[in-house]
Structure 1
Amino acid sequence: MQSSLLLASASVALIAIGVPLLLHLTKFLGPKPTHSTAKDAPYESGITHLVGDANERFSVKYYLVAIIFVLFDIEVVFMLPWAVNLRELGLFGIMEMFTFVGLLVAGLLYVYRKGALRWS
C-alpha cells in the first residue's frame, strides 16, 4: 500500500514537472517564427482592415446581446439534469419545468418588448 502510494505520488510529480519542461523546450528546439508585413497585417473575415486601430469601441448593444445570450444559454445547464431524470420526476418534474420555461419565455418577451433584440 505504502509503495503504491509513493509510486503514484512520484508519477504525478514527474508528470507535473516533466510536461511543462518539455513544452518549454519546444520553444528552443522547434522552428523559429517568421514575421512579415503580410502576416502581421490585421485581417478579419476576408477583409483587410485599413482604417482605425484595434482599440475601437463596440456599441453597448453587442454587450447586451452577449449578456442575454449567456443568461438564456445557462438554462441548458438546468434543463439537462431534468431531462436525464424525467421518468423519475414524473408529473411534478414536468410541471416544474413548464414553470421554469414559462419564466424564461416571460424574460425573453420582456427583453423583446424593451427593444434589446432590435438592430435598427
Structure 2
Amino acid sequence: MTGYLGSYATLGLLLLAGIGFLAVAFAANRVLRPARPADPPGKRASYECGIDPVGGDWAQMQIRYYVYAYLYVLFAVEAVFLFPWAVVFDRPGFGLVTVVEMAIFVAVLALGLLYAWRRKILTWT
C-alpha cells in the first residue's frame, strides 16, 4: 500500500490481526482447559513454615520505608545519568552547555537530598 494513508492501513491491519490472535488464543484456552474442580477447604489459606495462620492478613506499614525507597530511587537515577555523561564528557562537541545541563540536573537531585536532610530522614535513630 502506498500513499498517505497506506502506513495507517498497515498499522490498522496489524492491530486487527493482533486482536484476532488474542481472541482466538483466549477462546482456545476456554475450550481446551480441563474442568475446574471446587477448591478443597483450606487451599487458599496462607502457609508459613507449617504454623497455622493466626489473626487477619492486613498489616500496616510505616511511611518511612517509602521515604527510604524514594531516596534510593533518587540516588539511582543520579548514578544512571551521571556515569554515561562522565564517559562522553571529554569528547568534542560537549561544551559549557553540557556542564550547565548536568549542573541543573544535580542541583535538582541535591534539593531532594536537602529536603531529606532537613526533615531528619537520614538519621538512623
Preserved CA contact (<8 Å) 2:116 2:122: yes
Preserved CA contact (<8 Å) 1:42 1:48: no
Q: CA-to-partner distance for each residue in 1:68-108, whole Å, 9 max, x for gaps?
A: 4455555578x38x839754332321233134214423431
Count of equivalent residues: 115
Cα separation, 1, equivalents of 2:110 and 2:26: 48
Q: Secondary structure at the match of 1:89?
A: coil
Cα separation, 2, equivalents of 1:29 and 1:96: 58
How big is the alpha-carbon RMSD for the aligned residues of Structure 1 and Structure 2?
4.1
Cα separation, 1, equivalents of 2:78 and 2:51: 38
| Distance change >3 Å, CA 103–CA 21, structure 1 → 2 | same
Identity of aligned residues (%): 30
Return the match for 1:16 from 8, 14, 19: 19
Q: Secondary structure at the match of 2:29?
A: helix
Equivalent residue number for residue 96 of structure 2: 91
| Distance change >3 Å, CA 31–CA 66, structure 1 → 2 | farther
Identify unmatched segments of 5+ residues in structure 2.
none
Does residue 56 (structure 1) correspond to residue 59 (structure 2)? The answer is: yes
| Distance change >3 Å, CA 93–CA 57, structure 1 → 2 | same
* Offset of residue 111 of structure 1: 0.5
Preserved CA contact (<8 Å) 1:43 1:49: yes
Equivalent residue number for residue 42 of structure 1: 46
TM-score, normalisation: structure 2? 0.54
Cα separation, 1, equivalents of 2:104 and 2:42: 55
Which protein is bigger by CA-based radius of gyration?
Answer: 2
Cα separation, 1, equivalents of 2:107 and 2:54: 46
The structure in which a higher percent of residues are helix is 1
Cα separation, 1, equivalents of 2:9 and 2:111: 57
Q: Secondary structure at the match of 1:14?
A: helix
TM-score, normalisation: structure 1? 0.55
